């Protein structure tokens, strides 16, 4: 077991930018569109509505107007749209986050880019370097494939870097355009649930090393947890038409079995207990996942209120979701100096990331 780092030498979260694409559809509008799409397939449309209403999502922001999805039949067409929108949304959210932190693109030493909903080489961070005017010695770490856990994992990896370079500034940019991954021929229950749960959005976290930043919560430590032999719990099958969802009903069960021991072990290494944490920043996995978090960690109903609200308002934004909740926590008037908080997310692997915060 490694020695716990001290809060004073820990990097700081300066700001979190959040952006949603401009096209909004209510869940009822989306259900109507899916009814049209799948009516000819003799699919049980009542089942579709039940599954969509069960995810507790009132509506979602979409990369394109709803009618513009129809002509996108090939993986290339959808991925081309993904690149275009990811660059636009990524630029918007990086500018917003830097402005909140009182910094410019020239101040950034390293950008960590996370996504699981599209492919681009050069990656989106490189395309943004050209648009935003980053310095030519910018370091870039594009990370693909961590899925929903990548918001928390990206922060943890950026913090590892900032411990080595305590005067540097790093960005973690998450862009997820889940609507552009929809497999319209896939009538499996996981795909129907995914079509009702996942939304589009982007978030950007500005972090600074201990010698550069002072304002904001410090990231005291992080812990990754990998669960053996769980590859088929969550992920993509890469097929000719793009990304086909793998989503097992075992996710809430895994949370119930594992997360309490993981959290208690991590906090115990810092001499902390769950009762001493004032702020819980949980990924908005879905109603059953949030309920499993609450039950296994013995959290009161209000504890994850921000995660529940985010899920209801915008859906699950994959890696960006936990960063949305982080941003809202930072900008609320609730955190006080000395408060402890925990950011947590889970994703394909199957795995978890825990990030310990101190205000």
Confidence of residue 192 (pLDDT cuts 50, 70, 90): confident
Q: In this structure, how many other beta carbons lie within 10 angstroms of the beta carbon of residue 258?
A: 18
Active site residues: 148
Percent of the chain exceeding pLDDT 90 equals: 79
Q: The CATH number of 216-358 is which of 3.40.47.10, 2.60.120.560, 3.40.50.720, 3.60.10.10? A: 3.40.47.10
| CB within 8 Å of 125: residues ≥ 6 apart | 90, 111, 113, 140, 142, 173
CATH code for the structural domain at 12-208: 3.40.47.10
| CB within 8 Å of 198: residues ≥ 6 apart | 60, 176, 178, 179, 315, 316, 317, 318
Contact yes or no for 177/200 (Cβ under 8 A)? yes
DSSP code string of 297-328: HT--TTTTHHHHHHHHHH-B-THHHHHHHHHH
Strand partners, 223: 354
Considering only CA atoms, which of 118, 129, 95 is closest in space to residue 15? Answer: 95
**Three-class secondary structure of residue 59 per DSSP:** strand
Angle at 248 between CA 320 and CA 246, to 5 degrees: 65
Average pLDDT over the chain, rounded to an integer:
93
pTM of the prediction?
Answer: 0.95
Strands, DSSP E only, in the chain?
Answer: 12-19, 23-26, 59-62, 110-115, 139-144, 169-177, 200-208, 218-226, 234-239, 242-247, 277-282, 340-347, 351-358
Confidence of residue 8 (pLDDT cuts 50, 70, 90): confident
Q: In this structure, how many other beta carbons lie within 10 angstroms of the beta carbon of residue 231?
A: 12
* Token pair in block for residue 222: 């992080």
Strand partners, 294: none
* 343 has a pLDDT exceeding 50: yes
Percent of the chain exceeding pLDDT 70 equals: 97
Q: Say yes or no: do domains 12-208 and 216-358 share a fold.
A: yes
pLDDT of res. 42: 58
Number of separate helices (H) and strands (E) present in the chain: 10, 13
Considering only CA atoms, which of 260, 261, 257, 236 is closest in space to residue 115? Answer: 236
Distance of alpha carbon 282 from alpha carbon 322, whole angstroms: 6
* 196 has a pLDDT exceeding 90: no
* 3 has a pLDDT exceeding 60: no
DSSP code string of 64-97: S-GGGGTT--SHHHHHHHHHHHHHHHHHHHHHHH
**Tens digits of per-residue pLDDT, 277-333?**
999 999 999 999 999 999 999 999 899 999 999 999 999 999 999 999 999 999 998
* 214 has a pLDDT exceeding 70: yes
pLDDT of res. 44: 72
pLDDT of res. 190: 84
* 39 has a pLDDT exceeding 80: no
pLDDT of res. 9: 83
Contact yes or no for 111/171 (Cβ under 8 A)? yes
* 345 has a pLDDT exceeding 90: yes
**Three-class secondary structure of residue 27 per DSSP:** helix
pLDDT of res. 4: 59
Distance of alpha carbon 125 from alpha carbon 101, whole angstroms: 19
**Tens digits of per-residue pLDDT, 215-229?**
899 999 999 999 999
In the chain, what are the domain boundaries?
A: 12-208, 216-358
Angle at 340 between CA 334 and CA 343, to 5 degrees: 90
pLDDT of res. 164: 96
Confidence of residue 152 (pLDDT cuts 50, 70, 90): very high
């Amino acid at each position: 077991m490694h020695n716990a780092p001290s809060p004073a030498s820990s990097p700081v979260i300066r700001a979190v930018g959040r952006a949603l694409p401009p096209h909004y559809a209510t869940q009822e509008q989306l259900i109507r569109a899916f009814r049209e799409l799948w009516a000819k397939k003799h699919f049980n449309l009542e089942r579709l509505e039940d599954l969509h209403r069960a995810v507790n999502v009132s509506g979602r922001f979409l990369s394109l107007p709803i009618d513009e999805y129809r002509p996108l039949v090939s993986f290339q067409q959808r991925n081309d749209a993904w690149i275009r929108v990811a660059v636009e949304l990524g630029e918007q959210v990086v500018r917003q986050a830097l402005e909140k932190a009182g910094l410019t693109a020239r101040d950034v030493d390293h950008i960590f880019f996370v996504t699981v909903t599209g492919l681009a080489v050069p990656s989106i961070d490189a395309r943004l370097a050209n648009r935003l005017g980053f310095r030519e010695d910018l370091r870039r770490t594009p990370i693909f494939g961590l899925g929903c856990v990548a918001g928390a994992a990206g922060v943890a990896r950026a913090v590892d870097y900032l411990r080595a370079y305590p005067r540097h500034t790093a960005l973690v940019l998450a862009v997820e355009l889940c609507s552009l991954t929809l497999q319209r021929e896939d009538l499996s229950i996981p795909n129907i649930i995914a079509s009702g749960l996942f939304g589009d959005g982007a978030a950007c976290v500005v972090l600074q090393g201990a010698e550069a930043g002072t304002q904001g919560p410090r990231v005291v430590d992080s812990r990754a947890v990998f669960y053996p032999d769980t590859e088929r719990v969550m992920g993509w099958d890469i097929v000719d038409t793009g990304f086909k969802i793998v989503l097992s009903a075992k996710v809430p069960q895994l949370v119930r079995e594992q997360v309490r021991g993981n959290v208690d072990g991590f906090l115990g290494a810092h001499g902390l207990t769950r009762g001493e944490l004032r702020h819980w920043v949980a990924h908005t996995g879905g109603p059953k996942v949030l309920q499993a978090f609450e039950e296994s960690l013995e959290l009161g109903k209000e504890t994850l209120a921000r995660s529940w609200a985010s899920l209801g308002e915008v859906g699950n934004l994959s890696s960006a979701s936990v960063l949305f909740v982080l941003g809202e926590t930072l900008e609320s008037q609730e955190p006080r100096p000395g408060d402890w908080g925990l950011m947590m997310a889970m994703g394909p692997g199957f795995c978890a990331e825990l990030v310990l915060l101190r205000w």
